[in-house]
Amino acid sequence: MWAALFPGQGSQTIGMGRFYYEQFQTARRLFESASDELKINFKKLCFEGPEEELTLTQNAQPAIVLVSCTAWFCLAEETDINFLKYCAGHSVGEYSAMVAAGVLPLNSALRAVRQRGLYMSECCPPGEGGMSALIGPSPKEAKSFCQWVEKESGHTPLETANFNSPEQTVLSGSSRALDWAKKHYQKYVFSSAKVRLIPLKVSAPFHSSLMEPARKKMNTFLHTLSFKTPNKLIVQNTVAKTENEPEILRNNLIEQVKAPVSWLQSIQYLIEQGCHSFLELGEGKVLSSLMKKIDSSKTIAHFHSLDDLQKLKNITPWRSIK
C-alpha cells in the first residue's frame, strides 16, 4: 500500500517547481491561477527568488503548498492516482494533503497558508523566539530535557515542536531558554552517548504555546472556508491517525499551529496500517531522509523528473504523456 507525503517549511529552495512548470501545461495553469489569487508572482518567486524573499514565512508556506499540489495534479493526469491510499503532510504540508484528498480547493488552501504564515510571523518579536534540533535523545527524553531547562534556567517556554524521527526532535520556545539550553545541555544526563543541539534558521518559535495568537486567528479564518469529506485517508499531525469528519479536520488544522508535529508517530501509524511504500510529492527529499531514520526498509519514491514519472507508471495503470 502506498501513501503520499507532502513536505513542510524548510523544503523551499530557488528553482522549486521548475520541472513541473516546464513539462506540464497543468503546472503553468496552476502557477498562473495561484499568482492571480494571492497577487504574488510565483514563477518569479520560486524560480528566481531572491532567497530572502522566498524564505519569508508568509511566502514560503504558499510556495511549498503550490509546488506540492502541482506535483499531485500533474501526477494525477499521468497515472491512476488511486494507487495512493493515504495522505500526510509535515506541518504546512498538511494543507497539501487536504487539497490532494479533496477537502479544500487549492486556492482556498493557498489563501489559508498565506494567512497562516503572516499570523505565525507576527506572534513573536524578532529575536525573542526560535527553534533548535535535538539530535540523539528519544522523544520522551526530549520532553524531559525541556522541563529541566525551564526549571534550571527559569526561562519559559521551551517545548517539543516536531517529533521527526526516533533520534531527532525539534524544540521551540523563547530565545533565552534556547540559548541557555545550548550552553548547558551537556550537563543533562541523556541515555544517548552522542547528543547535539543545533539552532535552526527560522523566524519564529513555530508549534509552541507562543503561537497561541496565530491559532486564534486561524480559528477565525478557517471557519470562513468550506471543508469537504476527504476522498482519501488523511493522517493528521496533531493526532497521528486518520480523520474523516470535515469539522475534525478543520479543528486539528487550527490546533496544529501551536501543537507538536507528531511526524514520527504518523509514519509509524501508516506502517501499522500496511503502508510499505511512500511517495514524497514536492521539492527536495527532506521527508525521505526522515523516513530512512524511522524505517529504512520502506520504499521511497519521488516525482522530480520524467524518469521518476516512468517508474511510477510502471507500478500503476497509466496514460501516455501528453
Catalytic residues: 91, 207
Q: Are 281 and 308 in contact (CB under 8 A)?
A: no
* CA atoms lying within 13 Å on the CB side of residue 59: 21
Query: What is the C-alpha separation between 135 and 195, in angstroms, rounded?
Result: 6
Alpha carbon 122 to its chain centroid, in Å, reads: 20
Residue whose grid cell is 528566481: 48
What is the end-to-end Cα distance of the chain in Å, rounded?
Answer: 27
Tell me the pairing of strands 129-135 and 196-199: antiparallel
| DSSP letters spanning 43-81 | HHHHHH--HHHHTSHHHHHHHHHHHHHHHHHHHHHHB-G
| DSSP letters spanning 161-216 | EEEEETTEEEEEEEHHHHHHHHHHGGGS--SSS--EEEE---SS-TTSGGGHHHHH
Grid coordinates representing 19 are 520541472
Grid coordinates representing 210 are 507562543
